[in-house]
Structure 1
Amino acid sequence: MKRKAIILDYMREKRWPYLLGFALLSISCLMQLLIPDILGRFTDLLEQSRLTLEDAGTYALWLLAVAVGVALFRSMGRIYLYRLSRMLEMRIRNNLFSHWEKLSAQYFNNQRIGDLMSHAISDVSVIREVTMNGIFNIMEALVLITFTVVTMVSAVNGWLTLLTMLPLPLLSILAYRFNKRIQQQSSDMQIAVSNMTSRVQEFIAGIRVVKAFVQEKAERKHFTRDNQYAVEMNRRFVRSNSLFGALSTGIVGLSFLISVVLGGVLVLNGTITLGEFVAFNTYLSLIMGPIENLGKVVNQVQRGIASEKRLLSILETEPEVVDDIAAKPDIGQLEGRIDIRNLTFHYPEAKEPSLKNINLTVPRGTSLAIVGRVGSGKSTLVHLLVRLYNPPQGTVFIDGHDIHEIPLRTLRGQIGIVPQDQFLFSTTIRDNISFDPNPYTENEVEDAAKLAQVYENIAEFPNRFDTALGERGISLSGGQRQRVSIARALIKKPSILIFDDSLSAVDTITEDLILEGLNSVMNDRTTIIIGHRISSVKSADQIVVLEEGAIAERGTHEELLQLQGLYADLYHKQMLDEEAERFPEPSDGSEIRAAERDIAAAGEQLAGTKPAVPLSRPQVLRGGANG
């Protein structure tokens, strides 16, 4: 749904509350008009020497009563209008957050976190200021200027009023000339703040990398550059704003000059009284404040327009992944059978397909393992199963239903996925494991932790499951974060379990324990395991090997070894790596040289001569050529 405006749409919706605030403010403005009249009458009595002590007390009480009334109604109107602005601010942030939740993963791949934070904080605050101070000043100026000018014409002198008001239209011309400049500079200033926010966010997120590579000086230089750019954009805006304010003040001063000079002449000529002259200048001083504020309002409105455009560009972005028109709300519990038929998938920005002609069947309650090189399309296949991206129609089926026919809430609610990045929220361990709309009991949380082999680690913490984690769960080790992520998926008891390389950060012993604990969970659930270790996938009912987005091999562990293909090569390499870990090569050659000398000495004793060819290093490590 396209939105033409944010502020105007809100004001139309809340027109009656705004009218009430306008009425309260109007009463305050009308009461202010009594002050010049009281001062004028007081001055005339004083000039004519007819002012008594009783009169002075009466006028003082009138001024006090008017001041109290003005303060009361002005405060009520301000509070009421400001409350509406705060409600708008809350609504925009809620709508923005809700809309972000609907957008697909592809949108966030192309956005910087700092920019998004700037939209949610800075841009929304600018909108609030426009609807708060901006609308208040506009309403006050509209009422006060209109009624004051009418009063000045009718109660004092029409020609004096006309001549005094002549310079004021120049303010409109001035505002028009500064319009585009201030709007562009405001937009540039907001972009500069976004860039600086992004720089700070990336620095904080990558602080360990920065320190590990001794890049503090370089990062400080980058931040200084962004900070200086933000300062320069603010300076440009302040210069334009100050120039506009100075010229506005000069125009207002010109009106006062005309009022004093011409008004003084009219008093000397007897055209107006001294009291009327005082009242006229008091009227003029009442409207000069609102007129000057109009200049500030112009700047606020231009900033608001720039911020509103940025927010609308987000709110008008259509989510790519939504419930399809063909979705069937009556689809309930999923059993877990997966069929993939002739699946070819392109990422929006990619020229080549990430998956090519994939055909797979995973019966309910069985396990599928996916292996392959980095970039072969393993995670892409999983992302399509949970519809983080949309697969083509008629290619992915669950329980015989095209995945587009299954409502997103049903689909994702019955798939438990352990992603690669092991993201944890900065809350307690309990909240991270029970991260689901459904409430879980203490026993369910503990059982999930035991299945994931992380219960004993949690039990060692002083606050156990109530231990608060740092940003992204940084207070836990990589293996602990991975196992808490596994527990978070297991507690849902989903129909389909997906492990996206989720055992890479644990040792082989813990991996065996986790897999053993998962056996009971996996028996009646469809399970997909993506992994690089053969040990974590060899027990799967079927294994597929992806190569450049296509299925290169498929079968069981034994069948794939017999093929002597990619899977067998990966298996043998891992076996060699494990052997190398068990028999590590010495860090220097002293042990090898000592062993060579010992073997050579033994050869001399047995054969009476030195060996013609020294033993090679592999022979020494293995106890000789035949050892």
Structure 2
Amino acid sequence: MTRTNIFSSHIKQHRVSYVAGFALLSISSLMQLLIPQLLGSFTDKLQLGTLNYDDAVRFAVWMALVGIGIAFFRSTSRIYLFRLSRMLEMRVRGELFQHWERLSATYFNNQRIGDLMSHAISDVGVIREVTMQGYFNIFEAFILITISIVAMVGTVNFWLTLLTMLPLPFLSFVAYRFNKRILQQSSDMQRAISDMTSRVQEFTAGIRIVKAFVQEKEERELFTKDNGHAVEMNRRFVRSNSLFGALSSGIVGLSFLVSVILGGTMVLKGTISLGEFVAFNTYLSLLMGPIENLGKVVNQVQRGWASEARLMEIFRTQPDVVDDVVAKPEIDRISGDIEIKNLTFSYPEANRPTLRDISLKVPKGSSLAIVGRVGSGKSTLVHLLVRLYNPPKGTLFIDGHDIHEIPLRTLRTQVGIVPQDQFLFSSTIRDNIGFAPYPYSHEQVENAAKIAQVYDNIVEFPNQFDTTLGERGISLSGGQRQRVSIARAIIKKPSILIFDDSLSAVDTITEDLILEGLNSVMNERTTIIIGHRISSVQSADQIVVMDEGRIVEQGSHEQLLRLNGLYADMYHKQQLDQEAEREEDQELELARRLLGESRREVSAGENAKLGGASKVSFSKGKLSGGAGA
């Protein structure tokens, strides 16, 4: 959103509709002025004794017609104007979501989910209320106050009107005094709601950790604290709002007091008639509702400004990663030839470079494996390949083009990545595998699941591919989530396929099956595999070992073993671990066999005893039978 003001841009965009809606409201307000005149005429006729039955019926009919007219035009204007406010709510929320989609990953690294939810729900809701009730009440108050004062001066008495209106300017003073307080307290209340929402979101996302560490009581105390803070901020806001409303009502009551005392005196002196006095107080009653509503409007407008300021801060945030000015729209496909030249990269908040002097060539259709200690920069390198962050210009090339020349849509469409976190959406397995702008057939989804070795698990579910997953795919095991993520990347048939430590949650047997299935997929694609297990990377065409942001070793599996460096050290340690695991498995298997043999021996002994007892019983029976014979 490039506009500088949400409210003004909305009014400009729908100015014709607003004019029509306010015109209907004006007709309703003008019709309300007929009621004091009818009541005044009725009172004068009644006082003079000239009121007859026909006059009473005529007054009743006119009052009914005016009431129906007011209800029709006021309701129509409310529907018209409130519809515009709902349109604004839908537009702002939609533009906010689209803007979030445009923002870079660095923005979300520094934001809490609760804050984002509060912006999308609470702040946008406040904006809607301002355009719904705020504009309606402001315009109605302006129309009624203006025409009522004109009518009171023109038809009743100038001095009575002037003296009655004298207390009302104090409303402006009171509104000014409460301006900053209400604005600050509104912001505090919204922040407290954001904190509480974030607390609930973190609790629900980490419920298994909470239960595993028996932290229910502590979490409940933290939520109680945030909840109490939100209530306290709301109480302060309500107190200020109530005090403002009370002062406003007191000022309005003072105007009524002046009207009754001064107007009553004028009636007794004959300066005005009883009917004019009744009409004057009816005019004043019509004024009091809109004037009191102005107090609510001040509250709404202050909250609206605070919410608008928070939303505009988001809209003014620009994404770090966008199509560069040197981007070439004609590049709509890439083949996967990658070259990195002297790449040094630092995160914005980092004190030192994460990657240092990286130079590397990955020919089209070949495979590259990246291994190294935790924090050595492996994932950062692949994040730069899909431009989640911007690499320095002239350092990263694909098909001979600087990566900044390739449109983001082309780049990210042609690169399939399986990230470390294996994020899945709360949808069906089919939707998660076929997560793309274009639809996939059932056969394509099944084939991707088979390659990723997750097909057999899926068909065991009652609804198979139509099984709905829980939040973040929590209803699947870690290994199943990883394999569904792999299937999601495979089905795209990208030119570059990246596996960011995506086989860590599966056993070695499943890993071998996945790698075997991926061979057919990897043959025609440039493949990059980040892994910690040497078994998952040793068959790559080339392997690079990273340490502290640098490439310290490079070559094939056999070449790196001959170097006897970091890679060889990792390999031998893993070999020892695997050997220890095999020995442990053999010991467990031996123990199970011995336990099984012991059970069989015990069972055989018991059967022998039971067999002997049966023979004895049989012999006894036989003997007994013989005796009986």
- Which interval holds the TM-score relative to the shorter structure? over 0.9
Give the corresponding residue for 2:98.
Answer: 98
User: Match for residue 296 of structure 2?
Assistant: 296
Aligned to 1:5: 5
User: Does 2:456 correspond to 1:447?
Assistant: no
Asked if 1:192 corresponds to 2:171, the answer is no
What residue is the counterpart of 1:571 in the other structure?
Answer: 571
Amino acid at match of 1:423: F
Match of 1:64 in 2: 64
Match of 1:89 in 2: 89
Q: Deviations over 1:338-364 (max 9, x none)?
A: 000000000000011000000000000
Could you tell me whether the CA contact under 8 Å between 1:3 and 1:316 is conserved in 2? no
Report the counterpart of residue 262 of structure 1 in structure 2.
262
1:488 aligned partner? 488
Secondary structure in 2 matching 1:147: helix
Q: Which residue of 2 aligns with 1:236?
A: 236
Deviation, structure 1 residue 584 = 2.5
CA displacement, residues 148-202 of structure 1 (integer Å, 9 cap, x when unaligned)? 1000000111110000000000000010010001000000000000000001000
Contact 1:338 1:362 in 2 (8 A): yes
1:183 and 2:183 aligned: yes
1:89 counterpart letter in structure 2? E
1:417 aligns with 2:417: yes
Q: CA deviation at 1:3?
A: 3.6
Deviations 1:447-471 (A, max 9, x none): 1111101111111111111111111
**Does the 8 Å CA contact 1:3/1:312 hold for their aligned counterparts?**
no
Q: Where in structure 2 are there 5+ consecutive unaligned residues?
A: 592-629
Among all aligned residue pairs of Structure 1 and Structure 2, give the percentage whose two residues are the same amino acid: 74
Q: Which amino acid aligns with 2:406?
A: I
Match of 1:159 in 2: 159
1:438 & 1:412 partners in 2: Cα distance? 14
Distance 1:9 1:176 in 2: 26
Map 1:60-459 → 2, pairs under 5 A: 60-459=60-459
What CA deviation, in whole Å up to 9, does each residue of 1:104-149 have, x standing for no partner? 0000000000000000000000000001000000010011110010
Q: What TM-score do you get using the length of structure 1 for normalisation?
A: 0.93
Q: How far off is 1:587 after superposition? A: 11
Could you tell me which residue of structure 2 aligns to residue 463 of structure 1? 463
Distance 2:291 2:577 in 1: 80
**Equivalent AA in structure 1 for residue 569 of structure 2:** D
- Deviation, 1:9, is 1.6
Report what 1:609 is aligned to.
Answer: none
CA distance in 2, matches of 1:458, 1:200: 31
Distance 1:5 1:493 in 2: 44
The residue number in structure 2 matching 1:49 is 49
Once the two structures are superposed, residues 9-28 of structure 1 have per-residue CA deviations (whole angstroms, 9 ceiling, x without a partner) of 21122111111111000000
- Structure 1 residue ranges, 4+ long, deviating more than 3 angstroms after superposition: 585-588
Quote the offset at 1:585 in angstroms. 9.6
8 Å contact kept, 1:417–1:499: yes
Distance in 2, matches of 1:450 and 1:123, equals 46
Equivalent position of 2:22 in the other structure? 22
Report matched runs for 1:479-558 at 5 Å.
479-558=479-558
Q: Say whether the 8 Å CA contact 1:129–1:300 is kept in structure 2.
A: yes
Segment of structure 1 superposing worse, 1-10 or 394-403: 1-10
Q: Secondary structure at the residue paired with 2:420?
A: coil
Q: One-letter code of the match for 1:207?
A: I
User: Kindly tell me: are residues 160 and 477 of structure 1, through their superposed partners in 2, closer, same or farther at Cα, counting changes over 3 Å?
Assistant: same
Q: Distance in 1 between matches of 2:201 and 2:330?
A: 43
The whole-number CA distance in structure 2 between the counterparts of 1:139 and 1:162 is 22
Contact 1:10 1:88 in 2 (8 A): yes
Give the letter aligned to residue 84 of structure 1.
Answer: L
Shift in Å at residue 580 of structure 1? 1.2
Q: CA RMSD in A?
A: 1.3
Quote how far apart the aligned CAs of 1:296 are: 0.6
SS at structure 2 position matched to 1:583:
helix
How big is each residue's C-alpha offset from its partner over 1:380-426, in whole Å with a ceiling of 9 and x where there is no partner? Answer: 00000000000000000000000000000000000000000000000
Counterpart Cα distance in 2 of 1:437 and 1:540? 31
Q: Deviations over 1:84-105 (max 9, x none)?
A: 0000000100110000000000
Partner of 2:474: 474
Q: How far has the Cα of 1:581 moved from its partner?
A: 1.0
Count how many residue pairs are aligned between Structure 1 and Structure 2.
590
| C-alpha distance in 2 between matches for 1:129 and 1:280 | 33
Tell me the equivalent position of 1:612.
none
Letter in 2 for 1:279: A
1:578-618 per-residue CA deviation (whole Å, 9 max, x = no partner) reads 11111229999xx9xxxxxxxxxxxxxxxxxxxxxxxxxxx
1:332: how far off? 2.1
- The aligned residue for residue 611 of structure 1 is none
* TM-score (normalised: structure 2): 0.93
1:449, 1:484 within 8 Å by CA — same for their partners in 2? yes
SS of equivalent residue, structure 2 residue 584? coil
Q: Residue by residue, what CA displacement relative to the aligned partner does 1:462-493 show, whole Å, maximum 9, x if unpaired?
A: 11111111111111111111100000000000
Report the secondary structure of 2:554's partner residue. strand
Partner of 1:604 in structure 2? none
Structure 1: distance between partners of 2:22 and 2:93: 26
Tell me how far apart the structure 2 counterparts of residues 270 and 300 of structure 1 sit (CA, whole Å). Answer: 45
Of stretches 48-57 and 190-199 in structure 1, the one that deviates more from structure 2 is: 48-57
SS at match of 1:301: helix
| C-alpha distance in structure 1 between counterparts of 2:262 and 2:90, whole Å | 51
Contact 1:36 1:282 in 2 (8 A): yes
